[in-house]
Amino acid sequence: MVKIVVVGSYIVDLMSRTPHMPKPGETVLGGPFQMGPGGKGGNQAVAAARQGAQVTMVTKVGNDLFGEDAIRNFKQESIQTTYITKDEKEATGAALIAVDQHSENMIVVSLGACGKLTKEDVQQASEAFREADMILVQLETSIEAIQATIELANELTKPVVLNPAPYQKVDAATLSKVTFITPNETEASLLTGISVHDEKTAQAAAIKLYNAGISNVIITLGKKGCYVYDGNNQGRLIEGFAIDAVDSTGAGDAFNGGFSTFIASGMSIDEAVRKANAVAALSVTKVGTSVAMPTNEEVETFLETGF
């Protein structure tokens, strides 16, 4: 079984449907309301676990009811919780999510405890790092923890997938130690200064990131799929899957959890991206984030039958 360490955020999702996104000063009657486990780190951990990985989660929660729920939810997904610590001062992170009738979303995130994850918290998980086949990290926690994660993985010669979301500035030396980077169009634009909006501009951004020392660049382009560049050719577009979306929240997390599992299991980058595209596609057919992550059986059936 593939072993993955996920270092990142745990955030409670507080989601409501809305007929339209509110304008400044406007109150909109929405519903229904749904509360559930989330955060990019938590979502990606669940996505990887449901694709068959043995996952260890490294994060920080508050000493509150949401923190207790976090640990209980991870255990229900068979995710190792040894390195989840509790902060006595900060509350567990929370996200306020509005999803409109077109399945587009707006999110306000309060990181809370997971934003206080430290270098020491990461280093305490060094044994899990040593046993891991892949390290997966995002930017939804402290830069200190992100840098410590990449440094420790580098010391132990472990491959790293960095999902640079939500965008924060990371120094060039740290980025050069990343094995796979998976920005979306917005994040790729911020990382490179190139406005990414189609395959041609994705290629230019991917080459710039590759030349900065990142050996595998995967730019996610929503329904269009992913642009992949690994230096072996001019890059290529791995097409996505046409599917009716109910809630697009968490699709990127589904992709990253799936991709990390598949690439660590020995798939080629193109095979891993294609299957991860299927994980992402299925995730948007359900409401919610972690709860919407498909199982490996569902993904295999979808790839075989299209349903």
- Taking the domain 3-10+40-65+78-86+115-305, which CATH number applies? 3.40.1190.20
Query: Is 184 known to sit in a ligand binding site?
Result: yes
Residue 233 labeled ligand binder: no
User: Structure tokens of 164?
Assistant: 């640079």
Which residues are catalytically annotated?
253
User: What pTM was computed for the model?
Assistant: 0.92
**What pLDDT score does 108 carry?**
87
249 carries a ligand binding annotation = yes
User: For the ranges 207-211, 226-230, 301-305, which has the lowest average pLDDT?
Assistant: 301-305
3 annotated binding-site participant: no
Q: What is the mean pLDDT of residues 10-26?
A: 92
Tell me, letter by letter, the H, E, C secondary structure of the chain: CCEEEEECCCEEEEEEECCCCCCCCCCCCCCCEEEEEECHHHHHHHHHHHCCCEEEEEEEEECCHHHHHHHHHHHHCCCECCCEEEECCCCCEEEEEEECCCCCEEEEEECHHHHHCCHHHHHCCHHHHHHCCEEEEECCCCHHHHHHHHHHHHHCCCCEEEECCCCCCCCHHHHCCCCEECCEHHHHHHHHCCCCCCHHHHHHHHHHHHHCCCCEEEEECHHHEEEEECCCCCCEEEECCCCCCCCCCCHHHHHHHHHHHHHHCCCCHHHHHHHHHHHHHHHCCCCCCHHHCCCHHHHHHHHHHCC
105 is in an annotated binding site: no
**Per residue in 185-223, pLDDT tens?**
999 999 999 999 999 999 999 999 999 999 999 999 988
Q: What is the pLDDT of residues 128-142, one digit of tens each?
A: 999 999 999 999 999
Q: Return the domain boundaries, the chain.
A: 3-10+40-65+78-86+115-305
Using 50, 70 and 90 to split pLDDT, how confident is the model at 293?
very high
Per-residue pLDDT at 307: 60
pLDDT tens-place string over residues 148-171 = 999 999 999 999 999 999 999 999
Residue 70 scores a pLDDT above 70: yes
Query: Is the confidence at residue 13, as pLDDT, over 90?
Result: no
For 21-34, what is each residue's pLDDT tens digit? 999 999 999 888 98
